[in-house]
Structure 1
Amino acid sequence: MKKTALAILMVTCLFTSCKDQKKEVVNENTKTEIKISDTLKWSERMALSIMKRFPKASDVDNHETLNWNYKHGLLALSFEKLYLETGNEKYFEYEKGYADDLIDSTGTILNYDIEKYNIDNINAGKTLFFLYEKTKDEKYLTAIKTLRKQLENHPRTKSGGLWHKKIYPYQMWLDGLYMGQPFYARYIAEFEDGKNFDDVAHQFEVCYKQTLDKKTGLLLHAWDESKQMQWADKTTGKSPNFWSRSLGWYVMALVDVLDYFPRDHSKRGMLIQQLNDLSTALMKVQDASGIWYQVPNFPEREGNYLESSGTAMFAYAFAKGVKKGYLPSDFNDVANKAFDGLVKELVKVDQDGKVHLTQTCKGAGLGGNPYRDASYEYYVSEAKKVNNLHGTGPFILAALELSR
């Protein structure tokens, strides 16, 4: 019996040892497959760094379960734009890999529940248009139509604005304009003969009007039409503070929606005017470093910090706005100053070339459990992360727009 037990133990140890060695070899091969040269542009350096850390896009940020979500959608979109710029198929395959991990052969989206009416869930759908165009795989079109159906039935404020989520009734957050409207506008352009562009424009009209702070020209993070939330002003329904990333979502939404708006549409000028007015207000609170603070209007207040994701979003929106003719050329200088600041202050590079983006706010919202009160103290207390998807995706997009 003792000899038998010893033999089993030896075989088990040998098997485990081989298994571990194999695992090490696989990891070593993964590490050496991707070389990141400092002669490449920052867009590719960041993308390759992400791929080296996470060979599959769905694994980025270490989610415990496969997750159809806006952050991975943002990353996948940045890889799509990088592919279109470089023609390198590995960037396309990385984008496609995320979609294929989450969408089965029938077009069903894994872990997606339309009944939650969460506007965030629309964002990853932006990548499906290109995937369908390139592959002609009907599963992508089925998923696109599922997301369009969500928007068709999505609950709205009395003034016609799409709720941020079903669990946040009568609320519009700046974030939601980026999550839903570029997808909505592209669907309208490609499948609805432009019939609902007025509705897209209306989302911006309502949100801008209800969140605008006339003193600064900036937009507050959110608005509660019902005025029932503790964070909401009892007269206006506005939240009390500005948040740089929410403003970043909004300006990105504007430049991306304009890609699809007909030049002769009556509301196109309104969208461009919003972009100009908000960009001008943002330029006034840009730090000398080129970076924006987490709470942009209180640069010297205790706890505030230079935040990377909002800054990358502004750099992208301003650069694209100039390139498309929406913004004056001066904003290209503002965008380059922002990108310079990111590289100098918040980007770190390993000896093997991997690029890291630091000081990205992990996330910020309003209400919920535990309760988020939208106070200054709340925004500066949220965790800061390295290589968070909120920052790395916009960093790639900004680098591409600036050809950096």
Structure 2
Amino acid sequence: MSEDGLGYMTEERRMIRDAARDFTIRQVLPVANQLDGPDAEIPMALRQKMAGMGYFGIMIPEQYGGMGLGYFEYCLICEQLARGWMSVASIVARGQGGWIKSAMSEEMKAKYLPRVARGEFLNASALSEPDTGSDLASISCRAVREGDEWVLTGNKYWCTFADGADYLSLFARTSAPASAGQRGEGISCFLIEKERGSFPKGMTGAPIPKIGYFGWKTFELALDGVRVPADCLIGAQGKAFLLMAKGLEGARAHTAARAIGLAQGALEDAIAYAGERKQFGMPIAEYQAIRFKIATMATEIEAARQLLYYVCGEIDRGRRCDREASMAKYFASEMAERVTSQALQIFGGAGYTKLFAVERYWRDARLTKIFEGTSEIQQRIIATSLLGKSEVEAMIAARAFDTQAARRGALA
């Protein structure tokens, strides 16, 4: 891995990165190579080692037992963890205080964040729904206030780690939007505590079969009158859409880091294999076709990494950078699919087996183009920031508002 010349990589950050790489090579990669598959579970022993490294509290303030670091260090660590197993780089995000840390009261922070930093209070986020993916302003899961409780009804989709988490960050509609231009209004966030390995009363979960992202399960959730205390509301009622939008900025940087880690793992494995595999009397690394593939792969990885460094720096400085975060996520995820595919090609038939990790990198890289907003959604965000909203977008927003109104009428 190269060093950068823009002052991002301080000596402390190099030490953090190198420690994470060493942890990944020694602790994560052997477990991933042994266990990755549809029925795999990230071992509790590995999670405890991660907690010992402080990885669940990277961005939690030191006063609550965390490391007190920023998105830059968080993404440095997650890139290295993804080089071993993307799911391990992802479970780190179930710490950090999740989407809701910034909206927690001081009392909540004192109660929950020390447990989060120790890896004892991990999150699963329930945002998407069966009919609502990237258009999160259209969620229809409802929360109705009844006395000292909220009653939640509806469905959630793509909730990874819903069974193993200690709490859910669940977004639901508490009131209707006033207009098509304010469709995100009326969405609220709830912290729902639960026992590990089970769901709250009134909630059921069905695992979604996946082609990758193994090590944990992803669920469709059905909520039928789930009751939670009134003080489970996080932040102001009806204002959680902004919480989602801000959280997605950091989540997209995190996805870029994971994509870069996958690509780096594929590159390193391809280089090693090309030096060992002989055809026509010499290692395939001697052939120009392979050498040029590797040169291109390395260049694309480094370009994505430097863009991510810039974005993380901007987030840590407190500047909103939705466009740049979308650029980093879009570029890195598209790059990761190309690079891991090229790495698999270098392996030839051996790459299309379960005998090498490159097939895992390839499968998981494909997902980075989908979650936290598809590549097409990132392009839309970037284009809108440069050109303004199109007439088509305004028409889509109006149509979605009409659809929401129809749903409300059917449920009334």
Which interval holds the TM-score relative to the shorter structure? under 0.3
More strand by share: 2
- Which TM-score applies when normalising by structure 2? 0.26
- Which TM-score applies when normalising by structure 1? 0.26
